[in-house]
């Protein structure tokens, strides 16, 4: 029986099409899962869908569509793009709107422990310590909280770095009944409740974009630890590097999206995967079209090496496994596979989803 690794991957908020920045995170999670399986560990991946979110509500209103129907269509498009890119479907894919009762139980438990308090129909988690554990000063923490919808200026809070586990009902947003009145889950609480429900008190690896380290991942982990009393919540983190274009983070608000659907219409999925994976997983990188040309050349070298029938280097397979187990060093594994050729090259092509 294989060992098991519980992997929670922060999924999408399904309000728009999938871009290269999204794809980079999920390709790395897929590559990590494949490598774990190669090493004799069975990955159990949970990738959530955040279909209760203020940004999604606004997009659905612009489309004159109920939020859940709008989210379901976007989720379908996302999953189609992931399949085209060779990203295997996760074992668990919880959708936030089905876990509202779990968030209510989380909020009640946090209030009981004193880690949260209720006021004016909302429940707030005491979040200052989470910012401190993330190594951020107050000004930076407040800036990021505001950028990610944390409402640090909410006058109902004891501290501007507290965040809503449960948000009191507001016009133009879906609402559910709770002990504190009608309202909706907070973003960070949704992920915490879904992860706790699927995996219990902790995970082996929590994966997501580096840009989500604070506030999202920090609050998620802090709430889970306060609720269960178990630390650390995650044994390891995979914070995937940010994709930029002309130095600016790829985002709809910046108007610099490279849509995955467009890339896959012009390039084989293996070339896009190679462009994403042939670097350190934590490295930020700037997209330019020339990167796809380089990825195509690198892929051709790997395929050519895989077709060679000469005797492989002794111990090359074992060395490739060692390299990949050492912080997912894909570039070094590719270098050795191309040099050795034959079976080792085929091993890498298969293990990383290039074949």
Question: How much is the average pLDDT of 48-72?
Answer: 95
- In this predicted structure, the answer to whether residue 28 has a pLDDT above a threshold of 70 is yes
Instruction: Specify whether 283 is located in the same domain as 295.
Output: no
Specify the pLDDT at position 1.
Answer: 52
Q: What is the pLDDT of residues 139-185, one digit of tens each?
A: 999 999 999 999 999 999 999 999 999 999 999 999 999 999 999 99
**Residue 6: CATH number of its domain:** 3.40.50.620
The answer to whether 183 and 166 are in contact (CB under 8 A) is yes
Domain endpoint, select from 227, 261, 287: 287
Q: For the chain, give the longest Cα–Cα distance.
A: 73
Specify the pLDDT at position 31.
Answer: 98
Specify the pLDDT at position 323.
Answer: 97
Token pair of 272 as six digits: 């896009």
Helix-helix angle 290-306:269-277, to 10 degrees: 100
Instruction: Specify whether 71 is located in the same domain as 202.
Output: yes
Instruction: Specify whether 254 is located in the same domain as 314.
Output: no
Instruction: Specify whether 139 is located in the same domain as 247.
Output: yes
Domain endpoint, select from 287, 311, 346: 287
Question: How much is the average pLDDT of 16-23?
Answer: 91
Query: What domain count does the chain have?
Result: 2
Instruction: Specify whether 55 is located in the same domain as 127.
Output: yes
91, 320, 336, 355: CA torsion to nearest 10: -30
* 258: Cα separation from own chain's centroid: 18
Specify the pLDDT at position 224.
Answer: 98
Question: How much is the average pLDDT of 203-230?
Answer: 97
Instruction: Specify whether 300 is located in the same domain as 283.
Output: no
- In this predicted structure, the answer to whether residue 281 has a pLDDT above a threshold of 90 is yes
Domain endpoint, select from 268, 287, 306: 287
In what order do the strands lie in the sheet containing 116-119?
116-119, 122-125, 163-168, 183-185
Specify the pLDDT at position 284.
Answer: 97
| Alpha-carbon separation of residue 274 from 45, 300, 320 (angstroms) | 22, 11, 17
**Which backbone phi and psi does 259 adopt, to 5 degrees?**
-75, 135
Question: How much is the average pLDDT of 120-144?
Answer: 94
The answer to whether 223 and 77 are in contact (CB under 8 A) is no
Range of the domain at 328: 288-355
- In this predicted structure, the answer to whether residue 214 has a pLDDT above a threshold of 80 is yes
Instruction: Specify whether 123 is located in the same domain as 220.
Output: yes
**Residue 314: CATH number of its domain:** 1.20.120.640
Q: Which band of pLDDT confidence, cut at 50, 70 and 90, is reported for residue 324? A: very high
- In this predicted structure, the answer to whether residue 2 has a pLDDT above a threshold of 70 is no
Instruction: Specify whether 266 is located in the same domain as 332.
Output: no
Instruction: Specify whether 297 is located in the same domain as 324.
Output: yes
Question: How much is the average pLDDT of 55-84?
Answer: 94
Instruction: Specify whether 277 is located in the same domain as 344.
Output: no
C-alpha closest to that of 48 among 185, 149, 193: 193
Left if phi > 0, otherwise alpha if psi is -120 to 50, otherwise beta: which for 172? left
Instruction: Specify whether 75 is located in the same domain as 220.
Output: yes
Measured distance CA(240)–CA(236) in Å, rounded: 13
Between strands 3-9 and 203-209, the pairing is parallel
- In this predicted structure, the answer to whether residue 309 has a pLDDT above a threshold of 90 is no
Instruction: Specify whether 253 is located in the same domain as 332.
Output: no
Number of other CB atoms surrounding residue 268 within 10 Å: 14
- In this predicted structure, the answer to whether residue 42 has a pLDDT above a threshold of 70 is yes
- In this predicted structure, the answer to whether residue 302 has a pLDDT above a threshold of 70 is yes
Measured distance CA(42)–CA(39) in Å, rounded: 9
């Amino acid at each position: 029986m294989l060992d098991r690794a519980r992997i929670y991957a922060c999924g999408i908020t399904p309000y728009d099409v999938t871009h290269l920045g999204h794809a980079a995170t999920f390709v790395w999670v897929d590559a990590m899962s494949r490598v774990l399986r190669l090493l004799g560990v069975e990955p159990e991946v949970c990738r959530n869908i955040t279909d209760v979110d203020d940004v999604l509500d606004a997009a659905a209103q612009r489309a004159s569509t109920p939020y859940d129907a709008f989210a379901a269509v976007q989720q379908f498009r996302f999953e189609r793009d992931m399949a085209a890119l060779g990203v295997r479907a996760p074992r668990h894919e919880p959708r936030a709107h089905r876990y509202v009762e779990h968030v209510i139980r989380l909020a009640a438990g946090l209030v009981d422990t004193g880690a949260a308090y209720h006021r004016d129909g909302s429940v707030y988690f005491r979040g200052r310590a989470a910012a401190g554990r993330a190594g951020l000063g107050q000004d930076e923490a407040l800036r990021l909280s505001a950028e990610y919808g944390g409402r640090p200026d909410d006058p109902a809070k004891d501290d501007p770095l507290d965040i809503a586990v449960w948000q009191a009902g507001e016009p133009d947003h879906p609402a559910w009944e709770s002990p504190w009145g009608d309202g909706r889950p907070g973003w960070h609480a949704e992920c915490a409740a879904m992860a706790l429900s699927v995996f219990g008190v902790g995970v082996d690896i929590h994966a997501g974009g580096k840009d989500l380290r604070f506030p999202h991942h920090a609050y998620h982990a802090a709430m889970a630890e306060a609720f269960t009393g178990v630390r650390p919540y995650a044994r390891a983190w995979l914070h995937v590097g940010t994709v930029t274009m002309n130095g600016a983070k790829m985002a709809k608000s910046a108007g610099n999206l490279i849509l995955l659907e467009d890339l896959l219409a012009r390039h084989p999925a293996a070339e896009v995967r190679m462009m994403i994976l042939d670097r350190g997983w934590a490295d930020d990188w700037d997209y330019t079209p020339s990167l796809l040309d380089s990825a195509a050349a690198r892929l051709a070298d790997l395929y050519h090496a895989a077709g060679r029938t000469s005797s492989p280097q002794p111990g090359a397979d074992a060395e490739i496994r060692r390299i990949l187990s050492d912080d997912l060093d894909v570039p070094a594994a590719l270098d050795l596979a191309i040099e050795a050729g034959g079976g080792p090259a085929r091993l890498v092509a298969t293990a990383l989803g290039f074949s």
